[in-house]
Structure 1
Amino acid sequence: MFESSHAFGFFDYFRVPYRVVSGGPPASLSTVDGSYLGRLWCGERGLLWPRAGAPDCVTGRFTMAGMPVPGRVCTTPPGAGWQRAEAVTDERGRHVAFVWTDGAGNTFLPYDPAEVMRCLWSEAYTRLGRGADPRALMLRGYYLVRPLLPRQVQLGLRRAYAGRQETPRFPAWPVEHGLHDLYDWLFGVLTGIAGAPVPWLAPWPHGKSWSLVLTHDVETAAGFRDIPLLRDPERALGYRSSWNLVGERYHADPVTVRRLRDEGCEIGVHGLRHDGRDLGSRRLLARRLPAMHRYAAEWGAIGFRSPATQRSWDMMRTLGFDYDSSYTDTDPYEPRPGGCCTYLPFRNGDLVELPITLPQDHTLFEILRQRDGSVWTGKARAIRDRGGMVLALTHPDYASGTRAASAYRALLTEFAGDPTVWQALPREVSAWWRRRGESVPVPDGDGWRIDGPAADDGRIRYTAPTLVGEAP
């Protein structure tokens, strides 16, 4: 269907079939100068985008029609015969670049979609332009002294800070759709180039349209004791969940661990001591990883979540776990504010990242003092409607409070028995995402079939990612 001069990361992520070829593109694309350009085409129409090393680029936090396109944009017009389409603007609303189209049906993007995706996933955008986070030093200082502070003092400081904090425009809270809107826009452009629906591999197996993943971080011995407060309502409604345990902060009774696993639940690693230092430096992480992997082997764990959702794009690659779930999609109230801006899994090297996509119980009920779980159910419905992954994080440590417990039961009840949901464990989502990443639609007679390890349970779709359009 499509051919390309170079790898096109957007297609790789959505598993759209294309071939990288050495032959030239259509004549209309060849008239644009620049060896720094990538060229993707289908028939006589195509797409141009700047690759690494392209000249006349600026870097910052930009938007296009309200959608985020942070990182590097090319300011040079493609040449004569092209017309301005969408404007790319900086944080002050000034035009810095444009999407261009010509009369032959070609499109020139001033950015590489894969770079935009990576800039958002990795939270590199937080260090760009006026959005660079001035709170970083303050937060690092807070976490140096936090172990010395009584819990009520910690809670009071965070409540006071949240009370004075303005909700940022980007990422929006509690739901940020911008990157997924960009996905839809790109699919629309590429469908126009193809002149036909574009096949891609659905994000979820078995024909399910969205996924729901329940996870819990057990921070203290009291939390370990109170696991039944969350597990009992799950069990009653037929749910399975993941429980992330801390290796050296309390004794994880093997009988309880075995019972959870026998019920179909999963165990993960929640750091070594829950002191906020696991990712404090590469040297300290290297010292602690062997012990964390010993606990992982003891518990049969393959996943990791960092205490206080600490994260580092580069250091996460060295964890040696199958998946990580330390990134939030959007959360200005967490110790590490920001977010990866997506409610779908993504890859960081060999690591599968499963973003936390519902606000934490501690944030809602302890910091913001919400009266009910309407933020949870409202956001879960919004993600469901966009075909994403609802990944909840709750703590048995805080489950004795009536508001949190009632809200969690309401969330479970809301989606119990939904035939469209894939209620999966994190390890199952990670395994599926790997199979999906090794599979692709291939021509089969007048249609398409899936080639690869997702052939049996995968599905082909023909529309933009947020629209239901499963292949027959």
Structure 2
Amino acid sequence: MFESTGTFALFDYFRVPYERVDAEPVAPGLASLSVRGETASLFWPLDAALTSERPRPSSYFLDTTPLFGRVVPDGEVRSWLRRIGGKWRPSEDVRNEQGTLVGAVWRREDGSTVLPFDPSELIRNYWSERYLDYIRPAALSHLAGLARRGYYRARPLLPRSVQMSMRRSFSRVQSKSRFPRWPVETALHDFYDFLFATVAGVAERPIPFIGLWPRNWAWALVLTHDVEAQLGYEKLPELLRVEVEAGYRSSWNFVPRNRYVVADELVETLREHGFEVGVHGFNHDGRDLSSLATLQRRLPAIRDYAERWQAKGFRSPGTLRSAELMPLLGFDYDSSYTDTAPFEPQAGGCCTWLPYMIEDLVELPITLTQDHTLFDLLGYRDETIWLEKARFLRQRGGMALILTHSDYVGNPYLVDSYRRLLHEFADDSTAWKALPRDVSDWWRRRSNSSLEEVDGEWRVVGPAEREARVEFSSPHVLTA
């Protein structure tokens, strides 16, 4: 359907059909995308146009949507417009943190559009949390990293009350963070909507893509647990009972070394009853991903337990993460990122409530605030935050993935709140109540499938063709 002279991450992610072609750019480093055989086009800069010192990576606003990356100065964009030809008008403003106008999205009467940024770069900057480099000074990021590493080294020696006092004090500082917002941050998905609307305006027709969930499910609800210490291992049946009574199954992530002994019989029993078992780091000291050398020392033992437990998934202790190191783990999926996590030891968030790929690793972000943060750090006393976020994700067709701990069943609010959350959606036939390994397998099949037009009809071809749906974005020609 489309032809493009550059990679377009939005289409790759949503599986919109397009073909890469070689063509002379209208300006050096400028990529273009258009419906095959038509003249209206979308233009954006690639690295060749973004490598000068002028478009330094920073944080911007596209109208009210925060963006993070490089924006080409408006003077250079205007030179592109003259080379492309036609009558152009500025549409959406691009402003810096101080509110100063630095550029604009430009549009032509035929729907052609020029972006002053590379949308693929901006999308990756959300997913990877690289935006954090642009919204806080490098020195502050360095100090935060030192404090986090120092805390995890000292934590085994600290009484529980001291640990909690430190975390609560830290959460009060983190609550002042302006991005991402909590409990819902829509910036990345607002940017997706902007790009879909822009491309639909160029094409003047609905844009086909592969649906986000298999069969007729409209959203996903995924239950996961981390078992941190001996107490959590002993209390596991209490949360398990709540799930079985409500008709759910979940994933249980165990720590292989030093915390407790995981009986092979328990792993087998969980698997026989439809539950999943994953690996929760090496020994829960928060250092697995602190450096390549540390990961290489620990990885053989982590992989041994993954094979022993037939584990496909990994979650890093403390949800500490590194986009550079995680693909080396060798798991099918990871679930250490959170969509918005201002209160966690490694604050940030990937800003999406959908799975995505980190190289060949499927990332399943946590999208419902974990129990310890909600009840112990922030002081909530019921499931309201969970329910409101889950309903929002249902409305938006997202994935509600929750992390709870059997270690904290002694909290007076956890078990009853969790029970009410599960009962709220127990009879929801639109929800895919899936194990994380099933979501990961689906996302991999979807990512390896494509759309093909046959006799004027779009169909899915590839590993997901028997379960995937073809969906369409609404045509939306933007006007002044």
Q: Given the alignment of the two structures, is residue 170 of structure 1 paired with residue 179 of structure 2, yes or no?
A: yes
* 1:58 corresponding residue in structure 2: 56
The question of whether the paired residues in 2 share the 8 Å contact of 1:214 and 1:241 is answered with yes
* 1:128 corresponding residue in structure 2: 134
The question of whether the paired residues in 1 share the 8 Å contact of 2:16 and 2:450 is answered with yes
Number of residue equivalences? 458
Q: What does the per-residue CA deviation read over 1:332-386, in whole Å, with 9 as the maximum and x for residues that have no partner?
A: 1100101000001111111111111111100011111111110111111111111
**1:165 Cα deviation after fit:** 4.2
Q: Give the whole-Å Cα distance in 2 for the aligned partners of 1:138 and 1:89.
A: 33
**1:219 Cα deviation after fit:** 0.4
* Stretch of structure 1 that moved more, 141-150 or 162-171: 162-171
**1:399 Cα deviation after fit:** 1.5
* 2:12 corresponding residue in structure 1: 12
Q: Give the whole-Å Cα distance in 1 for the aligned partners of 2:473 and 2:130.
A: 30
* 1:27 corresponding residue in structure 2: none
Alignment of 1:78-97 (within 5 A): 78-80=80-82, 81-97=87-103
Q: What does the per-residue CA deviation read over 1:393-446, in whole Å, with 9 as the maximum and x for residues that have no partner?
A: 000000232201111011101111211111111111111111101111111212
TM-aligned CA distance change 1:464 to 1:326, over 3 Å:
farther
* Stretch of structure 1 that moved more, 241-250 or 96-105: 96-105
Alignment of 1:133-282 (within 5 A): 133-134=140-141, 135-248=144-257, 249-282=259-292
Alignment of 1:45-444 (within 5 A): 45-55=40-50, 56-75=54-73, 76-77=76-77, 78-80=80-82, 81-130=87-136, 133-134=140-141, 135-248=144-257, 249-444=259-454
TM-aligned CA distance change 1:171 to 1:165, over 3 Å:
closer
Q: Secondary structure at the match of 1:99?
A: strand
**1:136 Cα deviation after fit:** 2.9
Q: What's the TM-score, normalizing by structure 2?
A: 0.92
The question of whether the paired residues in 2 share the 8 Å contact of 1:48 and 1:109 is answered with yes
Q: What does the per-residue CA deviation read over 1:309-349, in whole Å, with 9 as the maximum and x for residues that have no partner?
A: 11011011211111111111101110010100000111111
Q: Give the whole-Å Cα distance in 1 for the aligned partners of 2:465 and 2:230.
A: 44
Q: Give the whole-Å Cα distance in 1 for the aligned partners of 2:103 and 2:174.
A: 33
Q: Secondary structure at the match of 1:402?
A: coil
* 2:478 corresponding residue in structure 1: none
**1:163 Cα deviation after fit:** 3.5
Of 24, 29, 32, which aligns to 1:39? 32
Q: Give the whole-Å Cα distance in 1 for the aligned partners of 2:145 and 2:55.
A: 28
The question of whether the paired residues in 2 share the 8 Å contact of 1:61 and 1:131 is answered with no
The question of whether the paired residues in 2 share the 8 Å contact of 1:229 and 1:400 is answered with no
* Stretch of structure 1 that moved more, 211-220 or 93-102: 93-102
Q: Secondary structure at the match of 1:287?
A: helix
Q: Secondary structure at the match of 1:313?
A: coil
* 1:458 corresponding residue in structure 2: 468
Which AA in structure 2 matches 1:92?
Q
Q: Give the whole-Å Cα distance in 2 for the aligned partners of 1:280 and 1:136.
A: 10
Q: Give the whole-Å Cα distance in 2 for the aligned partners of 1:464 and 1:149.
A: 55
Q: Secondary structure at the match of 1:314?
A: coil
Q: Give the whole-Å Cα distance in 1 for the aligned partners of 2:321 and 2:27.
A: 38
* 1:470 corresponding residue in structure 2: none
TM-aligned CA distance change 1:397 to 1:254, over 3 Å:
same
Q: Secondary structure at the match of 1:171?
A: coil
Q: Give the whole-Å Cα distance in 1 for the aligned partners of 2:451 and 2:167.
A: 49
The question of whether the paired residues in 1 share the 8 Å contact of 2:368 and 2:389 is answered with yes
Which AA in structure 1 matches 2:306?
A
**1:183 Cα deviation after fit:** 0.7
**1:253 Cα deviation after fit:** 1.6
Q: Secondary structure at the match of 1:234?
A: helix
* Stretch of structure 1 that moved more, 132-141 or 173-182: 132-141
The question of whether the paired residues in 2 share the 8 Å contact of 1:324 and 1:351 is answered with yes
The question of whether the paired residues in 2 share the 8 Å contact of 1:330 and 1:340 is answered with yes
TM-aligned CA distance change 1:58 to 1:163, over 3 Å:
closer
Q: Secondary structure at the match of 1:462?
A: strand
TM-aligned CA distance change 1:164 to 1:190, over 3 Å:
closer
* 1:21 corresponding residue in structure 2: 21
Which AA in structure 1 matches 2:432?
W
**1:464 Cα deviation after fit:** 5.9
Q: Give the whole-Å Cα distance in 2 for the aligned partners of 1:68 and 1:397.
A: 37
- Unmatched 5+ residue regions in structure 1? 25-29, 466-472
Q: Secondary structure at the match of 1:19?
A: strand
Q: Give the whole-Å Cα distance in 1 for the aligned partners of 2:209 and 2:94.
A: 27
Q: Give the whole-Å Cα distance in 2 for the aligned partners of 1:322 and 1:443.
A: 31
**1:23 Cα deviation after fit:** 4.8
CA RMSD of aligned residues (A): 1.6
* Stretch of structure 1 that moved more, 376-385 or 57-66: 57-66
Q: Give the whole-Å Cα distance in 2 for the aligned partners of 1:382 and 1:126.
A: 25
Q: Give the whole-Å Cα distance in 2 for the aligned partners of 1:137 and 1:127.
A: 16
Q: Secondary structure at the match of 1:317?
A: helix
Q: Secondary structure at the match of 2:285?
A: coil
Q: Secondary structure at the match of 1:62?
A: strand
Q: Secondary structure at the match of 1:226?
A: helix
The question of whether the paired residues in 2 share the 8 Å contact of 1:442 and 1:450 is answered with yes
* Stretch of structure 1 that moved more, 247-256 or 298-307: 247-256
- Unmatched 5+ residue regions in structure 2? 476-480
* Stretch of structure 1 that moved more, 158-167 or 439-448: 158-167
TM-aligned CA distance change 1:144 to 1:53, over 3 Å:
farther
